Structure 1
């Protein structure tokens, strides 16, 4: 049920003709479904050859693909983290953020993780990605998605923006603020979304968004880029929020970007006369300039492209961003390396179970250099979080004083004189990175049994001697893969594979 107040407001925005087209898009039964390939694990061409229902590319995201008449969320590839199911319009903000390997990037309002995992794929495991969600339950979901997609350089937090602005002032090169909003872009795909909508809630969201955006601005370096986005159509939460921000932050400007796929400019005429006059009474020249700049924000309208709708604005802070002014300062100081007795049991695990280049392996004072046979690396600082062992970039901000859900790559648990690897480590590794693995076809009953938590029997005993696939007489940790993509751990003993797929993730097919 679409609220009457919403209809009246949109009609006043768009005028009779365009309003009719806009409203007709809500009556259209056609929904646009898409997924985005996780390039940390595979590439688009590989996935397209395996999932034949993947169709045309999303115009503003080359790794995003539309699909129809399929349930990719129930495929083993989903559990292996090969893709993220994401609404097509929602892929646009990260495209315009333009993340790059080695940068320090913040995703401030990140759950459930679509944009965070998209940023991570652009970063390719290099740099610092701080991803935050104020709601603890949603932050847990965010952390699980970071794990599922095999991301090693993310610090997942459960904080409010005000506290973060104190800790990370002037730290980030790029920031995404996908602000919590009234969710008008959800009306098409969620029949109950309209029941929770009201003009009062729209105004309340706008107040909160201004506060979040102001806090985000404090954390951006001069010359840095900030993308603000929402999945709503309200000018209060979009053009007017940007107008307000520009007027009160004269060291920021809107960046003109190249549009594609039906994306249009924002509409300065949506700014109310009341708001404009209020700021014009303070400084009419600046008010005029800010209003003109709002026209360079972007709108994704559901009646003009294949998506549910989005708003975004690309902002930059005045100044020059160079490697010299990207501070080497680490907020909170660096993390403290794990004690030798903890790294020793992990080192033993690595030597027994990981296929690494012996010429490029060392753990010294908690710092690990480990070149994997598959060509990637496990380099960084090993530190303890309770009894859990993590690997993080050496300059990742300290976890002390922050509500942390995940700090880098979770390696596993230290249990007295032994080490038990984590599910996150399994999802990061590939078959060529381990001494033992077992591959099951994605359409097999065996992989379904594994994801259900069942113990598996080892049937292969005549494999080629050069193969690392587990045999009946094998012992130790085994990486389970599906069509060569890692999906979890098992432990081999006595011709059986004891299942270590996490109980909370198990699936009944």
Structure 2
């Protein structure tokens, strides 16, 4: 690895005697880990996802202390397993799971993930919410917002509004609305150097400065959207104090209050002295250096109690920073719709009749108990979660749960609906794994991967209609049975050919 000398100089100033340990850690193998998706249900009595992966060669070594469903592994290829496409887990770096722990999401809350792509932290937040409340997951870049939307679908998140908005535009609509906000800000990516060569190549002091200015602007909008009594967690995957402690100081200057955090073993507190050391000994990257010079002494103590740094030579993970704040006031709970954009208008009788006919034929009594308001966007039927705000004036990628398509006087269920359901929610299902105890691991998942690749199956004597296709008991997609064939309805754009 070839690092910019200025970067090395800055790190040496911050770490002192620990510098050599840090540099050595960057030559170590990157940490691989995943988070089991608690939203994804296996009701078939089969093995859970972690057990299936273990049987298929993934070697789990360590639990992640700050995420009860997080596990480090050293062998195997869970990203190529059919359960990955089923949304049974999300491959996520350990340190990146820490900010959501301190956000402490809960069912029924209104939560914003402001810089959400590709979706690791949003799907993690959703798992804590257990399908109750409103999650707005926003991403300013359209292509990344599309990836975010697909990951929310894969992980069976039904109570989310995925948006593609500039923070400033979003704050005009949602002023004082959210109980909790996560700002995992775009940054210089120093904490990802061990796993991302491109981040090393793109590093410069100018980029650190640019990121710092952008982060301050984003945080101003985030504070505007935070409800009185609400909690805001700011995080980055960088070590640069201009992007870490400086932004924490900015949030304190905006009137937020520090929240004392209990750090896990080997985490260390943030420290405003990191910033002062860099400004004193390196190129001045902050235009308002006067702001730093005039910080009151108590700011230093506030930052220490509310923030944490994760260094790769200390924790089993990459570099990360987080800081936790609250706004003065008291949270007012309530699920009523946000009025500025009006209410979601329910779908018409004709569309609902077609969906009801599908539900009566293919969903069980349990599966019919979907909560929310059905509404149409073009020929697409969605289910808005209870309390979802109106979407007028918002660029929306995914407004709640996509139920399916209504056209030509018929209803076709969506891939999203399949991934949200479990075997007990439907009248007809088909298990693709022939023998989960077979010693031939490749044979176990072969049929499931063939389904993901678009293959249909000729099978005799099934009842005509829609089938929820499952792998190891986890829902994977739809097939429709007619004429002795289970016709594959796995979306063409998601198919993986092996």
TM-score (norm: length of structure 2):
0.91
The residue aligned with 1:255 is: 259
Aligned residue runs from structure 1 range 418-437, under 5 A: 418-437=410-429
* Residue 278 (structure 1) aligns with: 290
1:287 Cα offset (Å): 2.4
Given that 1:280 and 1:287 are in contact with CA atoms closer than 8 Å, whether structure 2 keeps it comes out as no
Aligned to 1:449: 450
Other-structure match for 1:268: 272
How many residue pairs end up in the alignment?
472
**Hey, what does 1:372 align to over in structure 2?**
367
Deviations 1:220-248 (A, max 9, x none): 1111100000000000000011112212x
Which gives a bigger RCO, structure 1 or 2 (Cα 8 Å, sep 6+)? 2
Q: Distance in 1 between matches of 2:95 and 2:486?
A: 43
Partners of 1:330 and 1:395 within 8 A in 2: no
Q: Is the 8 A contact 2:337 2:389 kept in 1?
A: no
Distance 2:446 2:227 in 1: 52
Match of 1:346 among 337, 355, 372: 355
Q: Among 41, 47, 50, which residue is 1:48 paired with?
A: 50
When residues 58 and 332 of structure 1 are mapped into structure 2, their CA distance, relative to the original with a 3 A threshold, is: same
Pick closer, same or farther for the CA change 1:490–1:257 going to 2, 3 Å.
same
- Which residue of structure 2 lines up, in the alignment, with residue 188 of structure 1? 194
Find the aligned partners of 1:394 and 1:421 in 2 and give their Cα distance.
21
Structure 1 partner of 2:233: 227
Q: Write the mapping of 1:307-456 to structure 2, written as runs, cut at 5 A.
A: 307-323=317-333, 329-356=338-365, 371-372=366-367, 377-441=369-433, 443-456=444-457
- Distance in 2 between residues matched to 1:481 and 1:301, nearest whole Å: 40
| Counterparts of 1:315 and 1:201, CA distance in 2 | 26
Q: Indicate how the Cα distance of structure 1 residues 473 and 33 shifts in structure 2: closer, same or farther if over 3 A, else same.
A: closer
Gaps of 5+ in 1: 357-370, 460-471
Distance 1:264 1:39 in 2: 29
Shift, 1:331, TM fit:
4.0
Deviations 1:232-282 (A, max 9, x none): 0000000011112212x12x111111111321111221132677972377x
**Deviations for 1:411-468, whole angstroms, at most 9, x for unmatched residues?**
0000121000000000001111111110011724321221110111115xxxxxxxxx
Secondary structure at the counterpart of residue 68 of structure 1? strand
The alignment's C-alpha RMSD in Å is 1.9
1:500 maps to which residue? Answer: 489
- Note the C-alpha offset of 1:27: 1.9
CA distance in 1, matches of 2:289, 2:93: 37
Runs of 4+ with deviation above 3 angstroms: 273-277, 326-331
TM superposition score normalised by structure 1: 0.89
Secondary structure (helix, strand or coil) at the match of 2:50 reads helix
Question: Is 1:37–1:84's contact at 8 Å kept on the other side of the alignment?
Answer: yes
